[in-house]
Structure 1
Amino acid sequence: MKADYLIWGKAIFDSIQPEPFAGFVAVQGNRILQVGTSRQEADALTGTATRILDAGDGLVMPAFFDSHTHLVLAGMYQQCVNLGEARTEADAAAMVQGYAASVPDQEWVIGFNWYHVFWEEPRLPTRHSLDQWLPHRPVILVNAEAHGAWVNTKALELAGITRDTPNPPYGTIHRDDAGEATGFLEEAALGLVGRLAFDLSPSQEKEYIRDYLKSAAGYGITAVKDMQPYFGRNLGNLQVYAQMEADGELPLRVHAAPDLLGDLDEAENWRRTYASERLQVRHLKQFMDGVSTTHTALMLEDYADGPPGDRGASLCDLEAIGHAIGEGHRRNFSICLHSCGDRSARLALDYIEAAVKLHGPRAVRHTIEHNELVDPTDIPRYRQLEVIPSFMPEHLAMTQTFAATPFRQVMGEERAARMFAMKSFQRETGLLAIGSDCPVVSNNPFLEIYRAVTRLHNDGEPTGGWTPSEKLTMAEVLRGYTYGSAYSAGREAALGTLAPGRLADMVILDQNLFDIDPEAIRRTRVTFTMMDGAIING
């Protein structure tokens, strides 16, 4: 039996052994045929048609599996206006107008990534600045946290939002002193406009997906968990994904996680219908809370910068979520739960524990996503309940400088120092799933890797890293980004490691991450991406 590809490398990290080794990976069809170190063994697998590749001084490893991505939203982010560089409301509004002029046939003007906290005057924007430029086209601009949106008057009109419109459950329509909507919508209120703005046609959705796929291949990402509930809908049409797969346009393994609070009979139908190697529905997702910077993460103790008793505003019907977790578990769905606060993490664990007691163990892989703050006494419960901690390390450095991070202000120094306790979880559970939360941050895996092993902000502070005892080793973070994420999706028998019989999804990096200065990690490039035995980049 001869190989189609034989890849030699001085450093091969198979996500099984703790260190890279010199050797080869042989591929036949869409599977790994053999992994070894012997020249004689490799020669026996080499035929006249075998293509031989040499990784040189680079690193050969399994392709990245992003455990937390918003797929369609990520593609939209790449096409729509990015307001991250704006420093005033007026600057941002002018940028929106410039973008709108470039897409005259697009009904909705969509943008992302503004954050008033970093503006010269850190106050929330209003519809009036947008109306000056765009009075007749609806505008929706999602902020950097993706938990708030800035809209113009036309968008409010189309959504039927007036001074008499009540706040939806777990959301806020911000209003001025006269009671009129200001144009800022928070949490669940985003859905009032989002259900219209993000009601995409199949052709629009394909266009956005194609943009994401280009970046994913370039970054060596061949699998994702697609967290779909957003803006009052499941963002991601499974029929569109399936059609792209049928047309040979889906070089990505998509593990869709639709709404836990949706129709679970329909979700079961999706699970039966979409069950290929590239498109699966095994997961359901929901939010237990919001984010700490807006005091919507649920805390066990008061926020340090809030009034007495402020432990976070609930964004959802927690009782309904607890019931849905039990029902989803009974139906053998793996549940993905967003949790940023220590109280929401405890509640998530309580609900999962109750589901297991009521319905018994199931062949599922429940995850808690983000885990930004978890009480130390709750960390062992993840192992006991077989819950997988899923981390997005880049969130640790949400500001360019350590001095500017809001976590220390909202949490207080003691709690802030316990945030993103990745090493503690690694020691306790033995396994992490690693992802990006794209497009909240870039899907560039080398940003996540750098942050996990250094715990530094972009100014190099604090010296030695923020709580350096929580740094991950290179092997730990790479294993989490490959095998850990595959395990969390129930795909570890096919993905995440370089071993005979595994699907041939792998990458070659231009440098060996185990043998470089940490400051060089973010300059790493993917020179070769293979997915299903086919080269999709390089």
Structure 2
Amino acid sequence: MTTVFTNATVFTGDEHAPLAEAVAVDGGRLLAVGDGGAVAEVAGEGAEVVDLDGALVSPGFVEAHTHLAMFGQALDKVQLRDAATLSEIQDRLRRAREANPEAPYLLGASWMFEAIPGGEPTAAMIDEVIDDIPVVLDSNDVHSTWVNTAALRAMGIDADTPNPPGGTIVRDEAGQATGFLLENAAIEYVWSYLDEIVTDADRDRFLDTAFRVYLENGVTAATDMALGETELATFLRLLERDGRLPFPVTAHWLLRPTGDPEADLAAVARAAEVRDLVAELPAAESFRIVGVKFILDGVIDACTAAMRAPYADGSNAEPIWSFETAAPVAVAADAEGLQLAMHAIGDRSSEIALDLVEECIRVNGPRVRTPRIEHLESVTDETIRRMAALGLVASMQPVHCDPAIMGNWKAMLGDGRAETGFPWHKFRAAGVPIALGTDAPTAPHETAQNLFVALTTRSALVPGTAYYHPERAFTPAQALDGLTRAGAEAGGFADGVGRIVPGGRANLVIVDVDPFTGARDELLEATVLTTIVDGDVLWEAPTARR
């Protein structure tokens, strides 16, 4: 059955291409796109015609940077992003405990540094309200974890527990752990603990939830940025159960520094092995391993991002991976044909990322590569120039620039750098491809909110007039390009994913707000009417015009 969607604003996935007004779908493929009459003629008599009354039709959104299983789990946790004070956080934890008194542990997500006195959370603050079961609370950026005393005991953390490479167990003057774990300490101890207490049935539910919520937000492809053995097993169970994923996913194997060069290289070999294993599966077209992920530094909010100059308090952070430790690992991954994705928030770490790419070219020789740097919140003009020359992709998240969460970010920098962050306009001017995502669960996952911040630099969390340098803003075509075509290319998707092109996969989203003609504020109330994957409607809002 051929379906024609007409009387719409159709964005085809290319910021430079003209808008169309109709698109035809036949089975799982796109049949035609263009003006209404031409598309109707190609569709022929008997086609179902759906009048969209001016709605936006776009390629299904491509979530260029996410953590699917972690995102699904975060939706189950006590939500703390909008808790403005310590007492409000404590009250939510108390109420969650009272609502489930038999729970063996309590998990929370997305607390903000501004809500904590002095920005330094302690186990004692949680112990005041819950001291009988472990409590584990992820920060908003998921780069640090705040736990109570019971959780420290459950994880076996005491005065003698060593800091892992690239991580810190914050301690008091007596050397005792305070309940705050930074960077690789959170990964090493907290993630390992959660792997022990969470069941496979829980993990399967988390992944199902993530797919469902993303479909409700118009996402039809995603790149997962922290795949490990546990996450791999969860994806494989879903593939075995359903035969395919709800939408295609590409993934990067997370590489963690161990301090042992042989172990670090073995992790690359495992990534290549997993890639080849997954490629042999019957449903390989819906799940592929395309690269490896280096977390080169932390975040500005916790002063763990590696900067060229110190923070306002005089401190600075060493990179989690130095060039010396990362170079042989990056070269090995590049030799295996694995894409490099490098988390770099501080201006020093993005320089290291570029040095790594140059080392891969020097050792392995020139060839087609699409390395990418994630986040790039504080970056020099010279780094942008080098990225353009080397052909790197900037993977960025507008929701990380929401003015409602920028207060602590700006205070930690404390100088002119506080006003030069997130220079999207400079990347565009230099010709650096920009893929847009949300990095869920570190930020709101709603695509409409991400698009709103990109177009306005205003807050989607606390609507108002406050903004962060509107000259950085994207046009609707630029932002939608980053949310579709550019994200698909950066993630290694093919077969028309991220574009509306005849013969391509029929992955579409229909939204009731047209950003090309409507008021920007309307995006905050936008509704995804329909999400289509390979011609099948996988989400339809009750108000959908069908």
Q: Please give the TM-score of this superposition, normalised by the length of structure 1.
A: 0.91
Aligned pair partner of 2:269 in 259, 265, 268: 265
Structure 1 residues 407, 17: CA separation in 2 closer, same or farther (over 3 Å shift)?
Answer: closer
Q: 2:434: which partner in 1?
A: 432
Aligned to 2:513: 511
Whether 1:111 aligns to 2:108 is: yes
The AA in structure 2 aligned to 1:513 is P
CA contact (8 A) 1:9 1:60 kept: no
Q: Distance in 2 between matches of 1:341 and 1:52?
A: 51
Please give the alpha-carbon distance, in whole angstroms, between the structure 1 residues aligned to 2:124 and 2:408: 28
CA distance, structure 1, for counterparts of residue 141 and residue 502 of structure 2: 41
Separation in structure 2 between the aligned mates of residue 166 and residue 59 of structure 1, nearest angstrom = 54
Question: Which one-letter code corresponds to 2:248 in the other structure?
Answer: R
Q: Choose the corresponding residue for 2:164, options 151, 162, 168.
A: 168
Cα distance change on mapping 1:157 and 1:40 into 2, 3 Å: closer
Aligned match of 1:203: 201
Q: Displacement of 1:497 after TM fit?
A: 0.7
Would the aligned equivalents of 2:343 and 2:375 in 1 still touch at CA under 8 Å? yes
Query: C-alpha separation between the residues in 2 aligned to 1:348 and 1:123?
Result: 29
**Corresponding residue of 1:380:** 385
Alpha-carbon distance, 1:487 to partner: 0.7
Cα distance, 1:373 vs. partner? 1.4
In the alignment, what sits opposite 1:347? Answer: 352
The 5-angstrom pairing of residues 136-155 of structure 1 reads: 136-155=132-151
| Residue correspondence of structure 1 range 102-501 to structure 2 within 5 A | 102-103=99-100, 106-119=103-116, 121-190=117-186, 191-199=188-196, 200-228=198-226, 234=228, 237-248=231-242, 250-261=245-256, 263-275=267-279, 276-303=284-311, 305-307=312-314, 310-397=315-402, 399=404, 405-429=407-431, 431-457=433-459, 458=462, 460-462=464-466, 465-501=467-503
Distance 1:102 1:501, change over 3 A: farther
Per-residue Cα deviation, 1:468-525 (whole angstroms, up to 9, x for no partner):
3322111001001100010101224431110012111111110211001222222221
CA distance in 1, matches of 2:64, 2:192: 25
Which amino acid in structure 1 is aligned with residue 22 of structure 2?
Answer: F
Letter in 2 for 1:33: L
Matched-pair contact (CA < 8 Å) for 1:70–1:228:
yes
> Residue by residue, what CA displacement relative to the aligned partner does 1:218-274 show, whole Å, maximum 9, x if unpaired?
110111111116xxxx27522322332343373122111112356222212221222
Q: Is the 8 A contact 1:15 1:62 kept in 2?
A: yes
- Per mean C-alpha deviation after superposition, the further-off stretch among 526-535 and 262-271 is 262-271
1:494 partner SS = coil
Whether the 8 Å CA contact 2:15–2:480 is kept in 1: the answer is no
Cα–Cα, structure 1 residues 351 and 299, in superposed 2: closer, same or farther, change >3 Å? same
Q: Which amino acid aligns with 1:271?
A: R
Tell me by how many angstroms 1:377 deviates: 1.5
Q: CA–CA distance in 2 between the matches of 1:40 and 1:296? A: 56
Q: 1:430 to 1:8 in 2, by over 3 A?
A: farther
Asked if 2 retains the 8 angstrom alpha-carbon contact of 1:255 and 1:489, the reply is yes
Shift of 1:105: 6.0
Counterparts of 1:504 and 1:127, CA distance in 2: 50
What do residues 28-50 of structure 1 show as CA deviations (whole Å, max 9, x unaligned)? 222212223252552442454x4
After superposition, give the CA deviation of every residue in 1:276-302 in whole Å (9 maximum; x if it has no partner): 221110021121111122221111223
> Using a 3 Å threshold, how does the CA distance of structure 1 residues 29 and 448 change in structure 2: closer, same or farther?
same
The 3-state SS of whatever aligns with 1:406 is helix
2-side partners of 1:326 and 1:150: how far apart?
35
Contact 1:285–1:336 under 8 Å retained in 2? yes
> 2:145 is aligned with what amino acid?
A
Q: Secondary structure at the match of 2:404?
A: coil
Matched, 1:520 2:491: no
SS at match of 1:163: coil
Q: Quick one: distance in 1 between partners of 2:120 and 2:309?
A: 27
Q: Secondary structure at the match of 2:180?
A: strand
Q: Deviations over 1:186-210 (max 9, x none)?
A: 2222121321113443211111112
Secondary structure at 1:130 match in 2: helix
RMSD, aligned α-carbons: 2.3
Aligned to 2:543: none
Question: How far is the alpha carbon of 1:103 from its aligned partner?
Answer: 4.5
Q: C-alpha displacement at 1:413, in angstroms?
A: 4.6
Q: Give the SS at the match of 1:420.
A: coil
For structure 1, the residue ranges without an aligned partner over 5 or more in a row are none
Q: CA deviation at 1:318?
A: 4.1
Tell me: CA distance 1:116–1:427, structure 2 relative to 1, closer, same or farther (3 Å). closer
Task: Decide which moves more: 524-533 or 409-418.
Answer: 409-418
1:348-395 C-alpha deviation (Å, 9 max, x unpaired): 101101101210234432100001111102212112211101110111
Q: Percent identity?
A: 28
Q: 1:245 to 1:4 in 2, by over 3 A?
A: farther
